[in-house]
Every structure is written in C-alpha cells, then in structure tokens.
Amino acid sequence: MTPLASFWSGLGGQPALVSRVSAVERPGVLSSRLPVREFAGACVGVCALAAAELAGRRTVGGEVPAVRVDDGAVATAFVSERHLRTDGRAGESFAPLSRFWRTADGWVRTHANYPHHRARLLAALGTPEDPDAVAAALAGRSAREVEETVTAAGGLAVALRTPEEWAAHEQAAAVARLPLVERVRLDSAPAREFAAPDGAGPLLPASGLRVLDLTRVIAGPVATRTLALLGADVLRLDPPRLPELPDQHTDTGFGKRSARLDLAPDRERFEELLAGADVVVTGYRPGVLDRFGLGAEALAERRPGLVVAQLSAWGATGPWAGRRGFDSLVQVATGIAHVERGPEGRPGALPAQALDHGTGYLLAAGVLRALSDQAEAGGSRLVRAALARTAAELSAGAGDRVTGESGTDLSPAPWLAERDSTLGRLRYALPPVDVEGGPRDWARAPGAWGADTARWL
C-alpha cells in the first residue's frame, strides 16, 4: 500500500477515492536519508483528497473532483518560511541560542526563538545571553541532565537519542499506540447540513464554515491556513501578552484574520465566537486549555456539532504529554537527527520542518474528513495529531533501507507568487493543495498580528 493510500485508510476514507489522485514525481526534491519526499506528498495528497471529497458532497451530482500532487509544489510549500520575502527581506530563522550543543557525553538541542523560552533556558543554565557562555556551561554536563534541568524550568532542551534509544522510551511506547490521526465521535449531535457552494469562482469546499484558530508556530497555522484556502472564515486568536514572531505569523497567516483576546476578561466575547463556530483548532499542550473550559468535550457540550482539532508535540498521553516541543526538538528525541547526522557524526536535520508541515496537512485532512462524516452520521468530532506520531510514521516509512536521494536543482519559481499587502510586498510559496476547479491561491494576504476585530465576517 502506498503512503497516500495508507494515510487515507487511517483517516477512514473510502479506498476507491485514491484513484482520483494523480502525482507528478520529481525525485531528488527534499533530499534526505528518510523518505521525506514521499511522506510530504502523501500528507498533502490526503488533505487535497479530503477537500475533494467534501466538495463532492456539497455539489450537485456528488462527483469527487480530481486531485493532483506535484512534488515541486509540495517541496516548495514545505519550506515556505525560507521562501518568504517582505519588501525583499528574508524572514528570520532560528535564533542564535536555538541550535545543537556539545555536552559531556553527546549532544543536546535547545529552542529559544521566543523571548520567554530564551529567558528560561538561560536561568536554568545560570549563564548570560552569550553563546560562548552557554557552550561552556553545557560542555560540562550530560545531555540528559541538561534536558531535565531546562525542562523543569519551563525551557526547551532535548538530548539527542538514537532510534533505538527512543524506541525504549516510555513516550515512544505511548505514541506507538496512537493512530496517525486520532478520530473520535463525542456525542450524537444531528447530521451537518451543508449549503451548496456558490457556483461563481473556484470550488471552495469549506465555504460558509467558521474556524477558530487557537494555534501557534507552524503545524497548527499550516492546518488553518489550508482551511482558509478552501474557503473557511478563519479567525486566529492570541493572548495579548504573547505575540507571535512576525515572519512566522506572515508565512502562516495567508487567508486568515488575526485578533487578540484575553480569555479571562473577554470570556463573553469568546463564547459569542464559539456559538458561531464550526471548527476549533488548538495547538497548546494537552490540558493547558482545559482550565478555561476549552477541552474537546466541554466545547462540544456548549456547541453541539463542533469539530475540535487538537495538535501537540508529544501526544496526549505518556510521561512527556505535558512537555513543550517543536519540530526540531522532536527530530532530536525520536532519532531522526541521529539518522540524518553528517559525515563527522554531528547531528543533522530533515531538509524541511517536515513534521510541522506534514502534521499540519494531516490535521487539516482530519478536519475535512470529520466534516464529511458529520454530513452522514452527525456527532461532534475530535481530531488529534502529534508531531512525535508523525515522526514515527516518517521513520517507519524508511523500512529496512535508509539511503536517501541525491538532491536536485529544481527551481521553485513555478510555485512562488508575489502580492501587495499591508505588511509590504510579499513573495511567498503557493499552496500545494490542488483540487480540480479549486483555488490556486489564498483570497487574502496576511496582515499584522492581532490587528483584526474578534468577530465573524
């Protein structure tokens, strides 16, 4: 079974619909020792197929449009943050303290892009914000000690593990028990009734749907960016005191609106938004939002028929479920960075933040499939995905052979576009989700973080 067919089966899709997908293969893109190209194409492919399925349910005759997966478009989109230009300026990448460091017995990777994470890292290590001082402090400690000390302080540091070491870890066992995308029916809410999409313009499977986006960084915003492409009114909400990194917000903000909302004093406004929502997507650590009444069951109780999508780094169960995490750190913990190591043994990385991007498209696919299921059987729905589970799927796809592909000089130009925005002139990667008759670009450019009003259109 191909990765796409396997992923589609795991999402509960009808096997016959896989025949609606055609592929343009470009060997050498996303070159890696692991099968990143095939994996990325499968993630985008099932997302596009789920969109096509939903479109078929909403159109007269019910025919499912054809889907096309082009490796060039996928590879360009999976590094969209690298292609972003704002008035010619490239986006900022990892901060100086977000990197691999030598320890007394191996390697550790830290993540300090956000100011509060950087402050916690430095406090845990007892060093000033100086790379040489951090390097000296880490050189005398074991990687596992650093991991535990920094984690206990609320910072982010993960020791490098081999695939075998991760396989023996309790969190790996918890992740292995999870499906690639978890799908749960929460109640017996009535079947969803869809209005037929407007016949003018491109086919928009998610038109008329309202999505509350409570996500940050890459994977969650990629999922909601995709739903926005497909016609949903996506409103991203962030706490006023926790701003997003500007370039990151621009890259993943296409098609959406962005507002600031403090859940404590603005609770009434949030409940008004929830009352009009069809989908809520969250990207915070498991349990963090529960104290605000934003767990899946609590949301569905107040808004029957809701689809709740939850994203986490390490999964919803296991000893690491409550830990913070990012794509780069999950690669280190799960053995991917060991597999991708350089000739001198230095830990490596995937050619893209493929766990983030891949999980984003898988989560969007899960939401779209949940909406299709609701049209038949009703019920509020929970969809869950985790970067660590996605990592397990990518690693398993290597089989018994980890050799990799040679690179390619393929130009990304066909899959890049430019447009004006309130932020300036933007160059950006076009969406890789290609459904016959569907949109080829987002209807709106991103705006400044938190600049919109917290209301539905």
Helix/strand/coil for 185: strand
- Taken in order 267, 241, 124, 107, the sign of the CA dihedral is positive
Selection from 68, 82, 60 nearest residue 20 by Cα = 68
Q: Which two tokens stand for residue 6?
A: 């396997």
Distance CA 7, CA 10 (A): 5
Selection from 46, 55, 42 nearest residue 14 by Cα = 46
What order of strands is seen across the sheet that includes strand 257-260? 182-185, 381-386, 307-312, 279-282, 210-214, 233-238, 257-260
Q: Which two tokens stand for residue 337?
A: 């960075």
8 A C-beta contact, residue 275 and residue 455: no
Distance CA 227, CA 213 (A): 10
Distance CA 339, CA 191 (A): 46
Distance CA 234, CA 278 (A): 10
User: What number of H helices and E strands is found in the chain?
Assistant: 17, 17
Residue at token pair 């406090």 = 123
Identify the burial level of 170 via C-beta atoms within 10 angstroms of its C-beta, where 0-12 means exposed, 13-18 middle and 19 or more buried.
exposed
Phi, psi of 280 (to 5 degrees): -125, 125
Strands 257-260 and 233-238: parallel
Distance CA 429, CA 91 (A): 13
Q: Which two tokens stand for residue 94?
A: 């990892």
Q: Which residues are catalytic?
A: 356
